[in-house]
Structure 1
Amino acid sequence: MHDGQRTRQRRWFDFVAFRRDVRAALVDATAALIVTLVVFVWLHWRIETGSSMTLQVMPMLADADTYWMYWMCEAFGWSGLLWAWITVMLGLIRSSRRLGWLPVSVARIEKWHRTTSLTTIALMFAHAFWLFAEFVRANEDQRGWGGRTWSAFVDTFVPGAYASGTGRVAILIGLLAFYLAIPLGLAFYARRSIGVRTWRVLHASILVVYVLSVWHTLLYGTNVWYDGWFRTTVWLLQLPVAALLLARLLAPARRPGRRGLDLLGRAVGRACAAASIVMVLAVAASGRDGGRTPGVDGAGLSATRTMVWIGLGVFIAAVVVCAYRAHRLTPTRQARAEGEEDDTSPS
């Protein structure tokens, strides 16, 4: 292989930086595992004491020892949502104008953002893996080892394959969040090849992944059938995300474009961020978020798989159009190569 070919391969994906961030994320991942184990013990205790309202949805889960893999799946789901919240907050802080009161440097926030992003993807995979393991265990009396493993794999990892209960939509939404998080999150390490402008578009769109993760957890997760403080607290945690997004749009770190589409995009983004703040406050005050309500028979699903697939298609089309436009506006290759080494802030 020629030296030029090896150089191009190295530049397509920055494996050196990726391995460095993976090593740096080990401490972060260790903390995430500790949090996951604490959540697992808490969930297990709630089942043992009969205080978990999940038992009203699926009373067969009352045997916590038999279904321990399901509760491990739930624990990784909660820690994954927490880490997703942390990395989104860090990303929004990083991409906003410098805040003088911050006790740490921008470079440190950027590093934390990258490592927590990698940890979040790993937690999402672990969440899905333990559900897969539970499906394998639960089907052990129905078919041979190969058959139940394949069936569990399809139900867990193939979008739209799971066909019963709220999982028809919940698992689909969760899988779409997981599969979108991988390319959109790792695009940072390919920014030299795809161009910084294009990378910014891809990285900004990862906010949709976070929205899908919250939707998957709060509205369709079987383990969130809580009333009172718990569900309200989780919703209130979305308030700083919406507020930071609004601040980010009002005061971006980089000078925004002044073309018609840029102005329209910022106006729409600001309106959506402001509406999100109002919605979170309204949900927290009323306690009504469209999720499960104890003692009330649930109505039909508020969203169908068809609606989710249509939404995914619209999202992908919008990202492709924006990425293509960003690519067309990218400066010459030489200018891009000179400017993108130190530019890691999405606009």
Structure 2
Amino acid sequence: MTSSPAQPASEPAEDHVAGKRRPTLRSDLRASVPDGLIALAVTGAVFALLYARILAGTSSTVSVMPFMADAEKFWVYFLSQAFGWSALLWAWITVVLGLLLSGPRPSWLPLSGQRLERLHRTTSLNTIALIAAHALLFAAELVRADTAGWFSALATAFVETFVPGGYDSGTGKIAIPIGQAALYLAIPLGLLFYVRHRIGPKTWRVLHRFVIAVYVLSVWHTLLYGTNVWYDGWFRTTIWLLQLPIAALLLVRLLRPARRSEKLRGPRTHTGSPTGWVVRLSGRLAIVGVIAALIGVIISGADGGRTAPPADTSSSHVHD
């Protein structure tokens, strides 16, 4: 399960434009329809690709779970995978847009700040929808595969999909709770934007900063549990590569914050507490370290994947 809905760290320009109404969840849901249709089209294309690779026997999923070579029988699982990948893509887009909005905006960007903010909100809402579809289809596959009565199967699927610690098989013991954490944090953090006038902009900004943690959890869940990136190789390394723009934009955001109060001055001219200065400096150094680690992973190819089994054998690992 993946997610990372995010809103800009600064108060949206639409709130301050004369004659403009504050964005509401209803208006943004309507505006999110075109973006949602594109997301569904992308999901359909990913599903077709996954399905074709299963039929051709070239998918890593078949190596991890040989019994899933029957694409017609397990199509719900592959559809869940497709929604997971599109959710991760939309989460990536949402975070990139959020970082562009909260930091110095590039002059080459063709969209106005107001249009960029609205696009950011609609991709955020669609990310939540894609995550929900990913999780629900995963639960549906568990129900389909369960030989117990429908009520028992439904209860078991709910526990294994939505209750932390409920899934107790293989890598899922760790990966599923990580995905659940991302899901359960992403929904309130994304929707809090629409009540920020009630909780206060300062509180909202503080809570909103946890969105980047949600995105990290989402990527972590994917790398741990995504059978398509189970083994070492270019596909898994690409996932790591896509994190470089996120880390770079976050570093720019920290080095050149939109608010003067967030700038890192010298320790003698810093107006806050010494602890605050140390925390700000540590955050910037940590991101530099992350970028260096990402570059090291990409260059070396040591991306944490498993070694693929020989071509003439199948893995006995059951990743259900």
TM-score between the two structures when normalised by the length of structure 2: 0.85
TM-score between the two structures when normalised by the length of structure 1: 0.78
| 2:115 aligned with 1:115 | no
* Aligned counterparts of 2:105 and 2:160: Cα–Cα separation in 1: 45
| 2:82 aligned with 1:75 | yes
User: What is the correspondence of 1:238-249 to structure 2 with a 5 Å cutoff?
Assistant: 238-249=243-254
* Aligned counterparts of 2:254 and 2:213: Cα–Cα separation in 1: 16
Q: 1:202 is matched with which residue?
A: 207
* Aligned counterparts of 1:278 and 1:190: Cα–Cα separation in 2: 38
| 2:63 aligned with 1:56 | yes
1:225-277 Cα deviation digits (max 9, x unpaired): 24432122221111000000000000011112441244233212211211111
C-alpha contact (below 8 Å) 1:136/1:152 kept by paired residues = yes
C-alpha contact (below 8 Å) 2:232/2:305 kept by paired residues = no
* Aligned counterparts of 1:292 and 1:22: Cα–Cα separation in 2: 41
Q: Which has the higher contact order (CA 8 A, sep 6+)?
A: 2
| 2:286 aligned with 1:272 | yes
* Aligned counterparts of 1:107 and 1:279: Cα–Cα separation in 2: 35
Matching residue's letter, 1:295: P
C-alpha contact (below 8 Å) 1:220/1:291 kept by paired residues = no
User: What is the correspondence of 1:124-273 to structure 2 with a 5 Å cutoff?
Assistant: 124-139=131-146, 141=147, 143-257=148-262, 258-260=271-273, 261-273=275-287
* Aligned counterparts of 1:82 and 1:222: Cα–Cα separation in 2: 17
Q: 1:22 is matched with which residue?
A: 29
Q: 2:48 is matched with which residue?
A: 41
* Aligned counterparts of 1:289 and 1:234: Cα–Cα separation in 2: 9
Matching residue's letter, 1:247: V
Matching residue's letter, 1:236: L
SS at match of 1:256: helix
TM-aligned CA deviation for residue 39 of structure 1:
0.4
Q: 1:5 is matched with which residue?
A: none
Q: How has the CA–CA distance of structure 1 residues 273 and 262 changed in structure 2, closer, same or farther, with 3 Å as cutoff? A: same
SS at match of 2:257: coil
Q: How has the CA–CA distance of structure 1 residues 275 and 172 changed in structure 2, closer, same or farther, with 3 Å as cutoff? A: same
Q: How has the CA–CA distance of structure 1 residues 176 and 15 changed in structure 2, closer, same or farther, with 3 Å as cutoff? A: farther
* Aligned counterparts of 2:112 and 2:143: Cα–Cα separation in 1: 47
* Aligned counterparts of 1:75 and 1:287: Cα–Cα separation in 2: 25
* Aligned counterparts of 1:37 and 1:84: Cα–Cα separation in 2: 17
* Aligned counterparts of 2:278 and 2:48: Cα–Cα separation in 1: 48
* Aligned counterparts of 1:264 and 1:57: Cα–Cα separation in 2: 46
Greater CA drift, 130-139 or 267-276: 267-276
SS at match of 2:303: coil
* Aligned counterparts of 1:226 and 1:291: Cα–Cα separation in 2: 5
SS at match of 1:97: coil
* Aligned counterparts of 2:63 and 2:210: Cα–Cα separation in 1: 37
* Aligned counterparts of 2:40 and 2:276: Cα–Cα separation in 1: 41
Q: How has the CA–CA distance of structure 1 residues 189 and 285 changed in structure 2, closer, same or farther, with 3 Å as cutoff? A: same
1:76-99 Cα deviation digits (max 9, x unpaired): 000000000000000000000232
* CA-based RMSD: 1.9
| 2:305 aligned with 1:288 | no
C-alpha contact (below 8 Å) 2:236/2:305 kept by paired residues = no
* Aligned counterparts of 1:281 and 1:200: Cα–Cα separation in 2: 30
* Aligned counterparts of 2:237 and 2:207: Cα–Cα separation in 1: 31
Question: Which of these residues, 59, 84, 96, is aligned with residue 103 of structure 2?
Answer: 96
Q: 1:84 is matched with which residue?
A: 91
C-alpha contact (below 8 Å) 2:255/2:284 kept by paired residues = yes
* Aligned counterparts of 2:129 and 2:234: Cα–Cα separation in 1: 29
C-alpha contact (below 8 Å) 1:43/1:71 kept by paired residues = yes
C-alpha contact (below 8 Å) 1:283/1:289 kept by paired residues = yes
